[in-house]
Amino acid sequence: MQTSYDLVLQSGAAGAPLEVAPVDAAIRGRGGITRGDGALIWRFPAGDVVVLPLKEAGVVTGLELKVPFSDRTDLLGALLAASVEIAKSLELRLVDPQLSRTVKDADLGAVTDEYLRIARYAGQYFGLGDALPSTVSATPAEDGMSPVVKGVLVLLVFAVSMAAAYQYFSPSME
């Protein structure tokens, strides 16, 4: 189950190994700190982004930037602006795997739309409604009854129907 929206900082050449040290230093210079388990946390006023190495065949090919789902997009916007700036300065690519393309500042709208679409989906189908209070709500049953109450009523009607049928079709004992 996906609980975050991921962007990836990769080297300028597709598939090439990423030299992590300069990227790590750039993130630390913009508010990055190391968590107790060794993960890098990039702090923004709107929240925190987890930064993890992306390895392919044991080689680091990128850094995943994991934005937690929320009904607010200010953290995503701040991350996009800062990571695009780092990508430009270090000649890297910022890739959005969900959109399957490299993203720039001008792509904020497309990235935000995809973020909200996936966040709504995760909230509706995987129970992440607490993270998305304004976009996910329980849909009431059409007539206001819960499915459990409907099921009990159906069983009750069935039982009464069976009892009536038994009384009607059973031979009289007179």
pLDDT at 145: 76
For residue 87, which of 107, 104, 67 has the smallest C-alpha distance?
Answer: 104
Q: 44 - beta bridge partners?
A: 47
pLDDT at 76: 94
User: Which pTM does this prediction carry?
Assistant: 0.70
The DSSP annotation for 122-153 comes to HHHHH--GGG-TTT--PPPPTTS--HHHHHHH
The sign of the dihedral angle between the CA atoms of 17, 87, 102, 124 is positive
User: Which residue ranges in the chain fall short of pLDDT 50?
Assistant: 130, 133-142
Q: What Cα–Cα distance (Å) separates residue 75 from each residue in 27, 69, 112?
A: 15, 10, 10
pLDDT at 143: 53
Domain boundaries, the chain: 4-131, 140-174
Q: 9 - beta bridge partners?
A: 63, 94
pLDDT at 71: 82
CATH 3.30.1400.10 fits 4-131, yes or no: yes
User: Rounded to whole angstroms, how far apart are CA atoms 132 and 44?
Assistant: 19
Q: What is the pLDDT of residues 10-26, one digit of tens each?
A: 999 888 999 999 999 99
